[in-house]
């Protein structure tokens, strides 16, 4: 028995070590943000006419009506990445970057290299990142920040900087640290911007060897970019944002070899190789292809950096308000493609009311096998029957659905496995929403979000043409309620097409026992839905 006790986990990890670990966690969670690095105010560049991009687009004004902006869908992951790289290379005055996730992988390092190259030319680069999913170490970011033309700030940073303590800090201070910046902006010279669903990382741009996201962005130019810039400034100059220099262990100089740190080891494949092959074409499309743009009126909509002020009973939502107006005005149809969909009872009621007044409502979200967040599927699945009873045409994206891909690319092409990450809505085939916000409690109440609401029949038809493929029987399961043979109750049925034949399932198609068990476990946790 003595030998068993000495060899037991309790003996190998004695009480004093447990106590020490708990004290370390407590110390990390109680740490405070350094105050000696007060952020100086700066504002978006607002004189695009002084840049080549601004002058070029001024020449394209003949395509637009007064108040219009120009738009182009970025439906393909590779073109979405190359467009951002071309924008950085064409920048002359300023680049503003704002993301929830910016991974330290091939894509992340590739874009940082383009941003650093712009800074070397004298372009001011402002990078605003959410801290909860930060994939770069503080010291590395501080080295970039030490460049005279680069400044990096973190949204709602965790006080303890040790990576291992992040999850514990979030649990201990969920009310404060659980509120994250989910925005996605890449803006150049006050003239061009990309917004949509994509974070920065391999999986968002067809660069992972395993699987990739199906997503949608929009390139915008003109008046609406000034709105995007003002919204970026609201975040950049907010008290909830801290310069990354505040976390540096010592004063830093720019790393002489930082270009080498960012460079990929293989130039024959990946984003560097792809851009080497196609950069001229993407620079042309960004800088001169006015006739390829769709010119229409639109507005940039974003939540404030602090969603809920102290003493405020409920968080307001500018995005939810815009969609509420659009739903009320819709007369014929609403098509939604959204990655994370947890409508709640109120959402089911609102969507059902649209059907009752003659509006066709179609929704595509992730299936259990394609959803990368099982907790979201647990929250969503309890509302499926209510949605179907309300007359909603409900579809679930398949993990084996192919994504839009361009031929002859030099990026890693993942297996056919994919997951839906887009957040787009089309009302009555003319009003288009493309942004970062999901249809879930976190987007409605906690996270900050952004996006564009654009009034254009042409853009709506182009977007519907692309996502119509996602709704097809080969790419998604269509859900229905059917009466059970042995009772008066109904059960869910998934139908689709495989190898040219119609297939039907009475349980989650392709899901493993482990996936089912995870969803069941999460479903019984109290209060989980409000955190999704």
Greater model confidence, 290 or 219: 219
Lowest mean pLDDT among 38-52, 111-125, 169-183, 305-319: 305-319
**Quick one: 204 and 98 in the same domain?**
yes
**Quick one: 487 and 387 in the same domain?**
yes
Give residue-wise pLDDT tens across range 1-18: 333 333 333 333 345 444
pLDDT for position 308: 74
pLDDT for position 253: 62
**Quick one: 356 and 418 in the same domain?**
yes
Helix %, strand %, coil % of the chain (to 5):
40, 25, 40
CA–centroid distance for 228 within its chain: 16
Domain membership of residue 9 (yes or no) is no
Give residue-wise pLDDT tens across range 196-208: 999 999 999 988 7
Domain boundary among 259, 294, 329: 294
**Quick one: 281 and 409 in the same domain?**
no
CB 401 within 8 A of CB 476: yes
Based on the residue annotation, tell me whether 62 is a catalytic residue of this protein. Answer: no
Q: Which of 138, 189, 217, 470 is catalytic?
A: 189
| 105 closest CA partner among 182, 186, 206, 4 | 206
Q: Which of 93, 147, 184, 272 is catalytic?
A: 184
Based on the residue annotation, tell me whether 147 is a catalytic residue of this protein. Answer: no
Predicted confidence band of residue 118 (pLDDT cuts 50, 70, 90): very high
Q: DSSP string spanning 232-259?
A: HHHHHT-TTEEEGGGG-SS-----TTHH
**Quick one: 245 and 332 in the same domain?**
no
Based on the residue annotation, tell me whether 184 is a catalytic residue of this protein. Answer: yes
pLDDT surpassing 60 at residue 345: yes
Provide φ and ψ at 196, rounded to 5°.
155, -145
Domain membership of residue 26 (yes or no) is no
**Quick one: 357 and 243 in the same domain?**
no
**Quick one: 281 and 336 in the same domain?**
no
CA dihedral 352, 353, 359, 363 (to 10 degrees): -30
**Quick one: 272 and 334 in the same domain?**
no
Q: What is the mean pLDDT of residues 213-227?
A: 95
Based on the residue annotation, tell me whether 323 is a catalytic residue of this protein. Answer: no
Kindly report the CATH number assigned to the domain that includes residue 439. Answer: 3.30.870.10
Domain membership of residue 278 (yes or no) is yes
Report the half-sphere exposure of 209 (CA within 13 A, side-chain side): 4
The tokens for 77 are: 């992951």
Average pLDDT of the chain is 86
Domain membership of residue 481 (yes or no) is yes
**Quick one: 216 and 120 in the same domain?**
yes
Domain membership of residue 300 (yes or no) is no
pLDDT for position 529: 63
| 85 closest CA partner among 286, 229, 289, 290 | 286
pLDDT for position 1: 39
Q: What is the residue range of 440's domain? A: 316-531
Burial class from Cβ neighbours inside 10 Å (0-12, 13-18, 19+) for residue 100 reads: buried
pLDDT surpassing 60 at residue 21: no
The winner for highest mean pLDDT among 200-214, 369-383, 477-491 is: 369-383
**Quick one: 209 and 270 in the same domain?**
yes
pLDDT for position 288: 83
Domain membership of residue 11 (yes or no) is no
- Coil, strand or helix: which one is 525? coil
**Quick one: 231 and 378 in the same domain?**
no
Q: Within 10 Å of residue 439's Cβ, how many Cβ atoms?
A: 23
The tokens for 513 are: 């026992």
Q: Within 10 Å of residue 115's Cβ, how many Cβ atoms?
A: 26
Burial class from Cβ neighbours inside 10 Å (0-12, 13-18, 19+) for residue 199 reads: buried
Q: What is the mean pLDDT of residues 145-170?
A: 90
**Quick one: 476 and 332 in the same domain?**
yes
pLDDT for position 107: 93
Q: Which of 215, 423, 440, 470 is catalytic?
A: 423
pLDDT surpassing 90 at residue 380: yes
Domain membership of residue 35 (yes or no) is no
Based on the residue annotation, tell me whether 516 is a catalytic residue of this protein. Answer: no
Q: What is the mean pLDDT of residues 235-241?
A: 95
CB 478 within 8 A of CB 394: yes
pLDDT for position 358: 98
Q: How many structural domains compose the chain?
A: 2
Q: Which of 400, 428, 430, 457 is catalytic?
A: 428
Q: What is the mean pLDDT of residues 26-44?
A: 67
Q: How far apart are CA 313 and CA 71, in angstroms?
A: 38
Q: What is the mean pLDDT of residues 99-123?
A: 95
pLDDT for position 44: 96
Q: Which of 106, 421, 440, 450 is catalytic?
A: 421
pLDDT surpassing 60 at residue 455: yes
Q: Which of 93, 182, 323, 377 is catalytic?
A: 182
pLDDT surpassing 80 at residue 19: no
Domain membership of residue 15 (yes or no) is no
Based on the residue annotation, tell me whether 135 is a catalytic residue of this protein. Answer: no
CB 392 within 8 A of CB 363: yes
Q: DSSP string spanning 96-158?
A: EEEES-B-SSHHHHHHHHHHHHHHHTT-EEEEEEESTT--S-HHHHHHHHTSTTEEEEEES--
């Amino acid at each position: 028995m003595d030998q068993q006790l000495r060899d037991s986990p309790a003996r190998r990890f004695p009480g004093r070590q447990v106590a020490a670990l708990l004290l370390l966690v407590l110390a990390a969670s109680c740490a405070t943000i350094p105050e000696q690095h007060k952020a100086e105010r700066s504002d978006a560049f607002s004189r695009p006419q002084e840049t080549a991009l601004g002058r070029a687009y001024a020449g394209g004004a003949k395509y637009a009506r007064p108040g219009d902006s120009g738009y182009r869908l970025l439906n393909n992951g590779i073109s979405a990445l190359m467009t951002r790289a071309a924008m950085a290379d064409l920048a002359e005055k300023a680049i503003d970057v704002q993301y929830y996730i910016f991974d330290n992988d091939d894509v992340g390092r590739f874009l940082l290299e383009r941003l650093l190259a712009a800074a070397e030319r004298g372009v001011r680069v402002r990078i605003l990142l959410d801290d909860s999913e930060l994939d770069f170490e503080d010291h590395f970011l501080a080295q970039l920040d030490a460049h005279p033309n680069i400044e990096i700030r973190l949204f709602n940073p965790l006080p303890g900087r040790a990576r291992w303590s992040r999850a514990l800090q979030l649990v201990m201070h969920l009310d404060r640290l659980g509120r994250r910046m989910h925005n996605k902006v890449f803006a150049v010279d006050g003239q061009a911007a990309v917004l949509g669903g994509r974070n920065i990382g391999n999986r968002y741009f067809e660069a992972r060897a395993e699987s990739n996201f199906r997503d949608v962005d929009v390139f915008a130019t003109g008046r609406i970019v000034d709105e995007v810039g003002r919204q970026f400034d609201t975040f950049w100059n907010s008290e909830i944002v801290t310069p990354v220099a505040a976390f540096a262990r010592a004063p830093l100089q720019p790393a002489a070899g930082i270009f080498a740190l960012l460079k990929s080891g293989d130039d024959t494949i990946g984003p560097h190789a792809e851009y080497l092959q196609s950069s001229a074409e993407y620079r042309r499309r960004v800088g001169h292809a006015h006739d390829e743009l769709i010119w229409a009126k639109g507005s940039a909509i974003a939540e404030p950096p602090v969603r809920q002020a102290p003493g405020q009973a409920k968080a307001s939502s500018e995005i939810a308000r815009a969609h509420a107006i659009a739903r009320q005005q819709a007369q014929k149809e609403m098509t939604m493609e959204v990655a994370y969909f947890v409508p709640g009872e109120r959402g089911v009621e609102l969507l059902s009311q649209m059907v009752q007044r003659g509006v066709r409502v179609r929704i595509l979200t992730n299936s259990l096998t394609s959803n990368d967040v099982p907790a979201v599927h647990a929250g969503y699945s309890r509302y499926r029957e209510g949605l179907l009873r309300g007359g909603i045409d409900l579809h679930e994206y398949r993990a084996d659905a192919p994504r839009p891909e361009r031929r002859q690319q030099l990026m890693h092409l993942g297996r056919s496995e994919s997951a839906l990450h887009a957040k787009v809505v089309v009302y009555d085939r003319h009003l288009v929403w493309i942004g970062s916000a999901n249809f879930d409690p976190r987007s409605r109440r906690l996270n900050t979000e952004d996006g564009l609401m654009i009034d254009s029949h042409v853009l709506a038809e182009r977007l519907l043409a692309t996502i119509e493929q996602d709704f097809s029987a080969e790419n998604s399961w269509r859900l229905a309620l059917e009466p059970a043979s042995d009772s008066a109750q109904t059960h869910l049925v998934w139908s689709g097409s495989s190898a040219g034949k119609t297939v039907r399932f009475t349980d989650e198609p392709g899901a493993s026992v482990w996936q089912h068990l995870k969803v069941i476990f999460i479903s019984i946790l109290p209060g989980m839905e409000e955190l999704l």
